[in-house]
A and B are shown apart, each in its own frame.
Chain A
């Protein structure tokens, strides 16, 4: 049955990419739309409609180069695909005219060509300094296919893993394969995924659930939402494989309703899957039944914590539950539940296709596979990148992120979101690896890296992050509720000229009680950014507190050097 669908899809994909066609595609995602990619697409449509034979204009996923949005992909007859950057609406008429009427490939606008050799003076995309160190596993379809087109996903290797699992593998086989691959929870907790799945086999009767954590509340992290936006079928395929392995009959995808494009594309992809019989009863004729539900939620950072997420799926306030009982015993509506991050599940089809050994060969001994990075802040090349775990952090920042935009100097990185840490530029010669970075006090977490130039005031930034944590503390545990507020008050004082040398001791005491007395990660990890900042930037803190000086001029009540 699957073979037929696959052959048909390949035929369709080949007809789309026939060498006599002109294909123009615009990368559409929430980030590119915010810079006008939607308007670029409609302008292109307007300019070519009915004027050229064999022209296909479409919206594809986002290739990850947010710094070059809007991005346009062009394949002319008998030419390789050229990727262009910064094609705003106003550039479209001239761009198309030169391209289609004069066959002028305009290398000055091109980011690169998708081929092994350079073309018309355009360099090879994969040899560009910001691409050559990337290793795209999860992102392999980003910018290549229309995200909700089922056949395009299948033609590019989609659902092959599900087919293999359902026809040839027992649930134990799948769990063993995932355990052997060394995949660890990519939400940031790094618990071995295969081991976690194994807990679910203890329960044999009744309903079992899989919940997908797509809350992604970290400011500066946007890879989960990009997976859902740019390749929703990959997530859905991973869900079906994981559910088969654990014997789950239902899954809930927890995603913020405000991620409107992601929810829209996911809903469309899910309904296409229902139409071909890949969800519901007797999937692919295997006898496996599974129902997938999209559980849109309101914004609350704490719902990224797994027990809070379960409360939210039940439609309540997302306050964490004490553990034990653990979710694998008593989860959503009291039933055994496994919770995985979007990224973790998105790796599963690749692990099945590549095999656990090949997956293990990417990355390091401690952490196999790739890391998806969200690059933001003052970098030249903000966007999404995928690297083998362990790539030198200097290469990530200087080559992939391109260093600092303009003429500022790199000052520090803020990694792992508001519960992560801060690391100074002098510490970057190290592998981009979860444990090693935690050792420096700045864990990679779910992959958010904010790149800070030397005009960033560290105290002001830490205050902003503390305000976020204060706002997002759910209030259930006293040390966290009161502690986050108290930290903000002290930091506010420091930035307004009321700092006192005793503040450092106070902050340490508050942090310690939060770590000791909070139920979940928010309270336990919230002092992390502050502690690492005080450790590495003690001079700057002392300037604020003792000398009442802010060297960057960000704190308006203090003197500037």
Chain B
């Protein structure tokens, strides 16, 4: 789960592509986030150096927008939307079940990371859960277990 050098180099080259562009920091960081799925820690120093920001400015932006993920993800990432429409349709049940599953994940043989995220507005199909970035609607506990079986990588 170490950030590898190839990722760091790719991030660096993305940053270089934004040199001279007005207000480039947020866009460059999003580009890295969506290409790598996370922000390598080296990016903080690198973007300061390449794009001319101070490191606190970079930290400021990275921690402000909740779509950024610092550091490499676990093998599987599960996002649970807990915003109001999902909340009243059973999101808490999904969350609690996953939390307890997280505790015994070694027994299950599945490694995953669990996070609360705002879904891309699937409100009419609440509750929404994403497995490895793919969002699913109307996910009750049975559907959740089924999705885990089919979409999660076992290693």
- List chain A positions with a Cβ less than 8 A from chain B: 30-31, 33-35, 66-67, 69, 216-217, 219-222, 225, 256-262, 295-300, 312-318, 333, 374-378, 382-384, 414, 418, 448, 450, 452, 456, 461, 464-465, 468, 471, 474
Beta-carbon contacts of B11-48 to A below 8 Å, as 1s and 0s?
00000000000111111011001100000000000000
By the criterion CB–CB under 8 Å, are A219 and B66 in contact? Answer: no
B111 at the interface (CB under 8 A from A): no
By the criterion CB–CB under 8 Å, are B124 and A31 in contact? Answer: yes
A460 to B77, CA, bound (A): 28
10 A–B contact pairs at CB < 8 A? A31-B137, A34-B128, A219-B84, A260-B120, A295-B27, A297-B26, A298-B33, A312-B26, A456-B88, A461-B88
Beta-carbon contacts of B125-153 to A below 8 Å, as 1s and 0s?
11010000001111000000000000000
By the criterion CB–CB under 8 Å, are A225 and B121 in contact? Answer: yes
Which of A221, A296, A317 is most buried by chain B, counting CB atoms within 10 A of its CB? Answer: A317
B67 at the interface (CB under 8 A from A): yes
By the criterion CB–CB under 8 Å, are B121 and A298 in contact? Answer: no
- List chain B positions with a Cβ less than 8 A from chain A: 22-27, 29-30, 33-34, 57, 60-61, 64-68, 82-89, 118, 120-126, 128, 135-138
By the criterion CB–CB under 8 Å, are B121 and A418 in contact? Answer: no
Which of A66, A299, A384 is most buried by chain B, counting CB atoms within 10 A of its CB? Answer: A299
Which of B22, B64, B84, B138 is most buried by chain A, counting CB atoms within 10 A of its CB? Answer: B84
A383 to B137, CA, bound (A): 13
Closest to A472 in B: B66
By the criterion CB–CB under 8 Å, are A257 and B34 in contact? Answer: yes
By the criterion CB–CB under 8 Å, are A464 and B82 in contact? Answer: yes
A456 to B33, CA, bound (A): 37
Rounded to whole Å, the gap between the CB of A190 and the closest CB of chain B is: 22
By the criterion CB–CB under 8 Å, are A67 and B124 in contact? Answer: yes
By the criterion CB–CB under 8 Å, are A461 and B22 in contact? Answer: no
By the criterion CB–CB under 8 Å, are A376 and B85 in contact? Answer: yes
By the criterion CB–CB under 8 Å, are A296 and B122 in contact? Answer: no
Contact of A216 among B24, B27, B68, B121 (CB under 8 A): B121
Known: A314-B23, A456-B88, A464-B87. A297 touches B120 (CB 8 A): no
By the criterion CB–CB under 8 Å, are A219 and B123 in contact? Answer: yes
Q: Which residues of A contact B68 (CB under 8 A)?
A: 298
Closest to A297 in B: B26
A418 to B82, CA, bound (A): 13
In the A-B complex, the 4 residue pairs with the closest CB atoms: A298-B65, A219-B83, A34-B137, A315-B23
Closest to B65 in A: A298
A376 to B64, CA, bound (A): 28
A117 to B83, CA, bound (A): 42
Rounded to whole Å, the gap between the CB of A461 and the closest CB of chain B is: 6
By the criterion CB–CB under 8 Å, are B84 and A317 in contact? Answer: no
A67 to B118, CA, bound (A): 21
Contact of A300 among B64, B84, B126 (CB under 8 A): B64
A464 to B81, CA, bound (A): 12
Rounded to whole Å, the gap between the CB of A18 and the closest CB of chain B is: 34
A505 to B33, CA, bound (A): 45
Q: Which residues of B contact A474 (CB under 8 A)?
A: 64
A333 to B85, CA, bound (A): 37
By the criterion CB–CB under 8 Å, are A316 and B23 in contact? Answer: yes
A383 to B57, CA, bound (A): 40
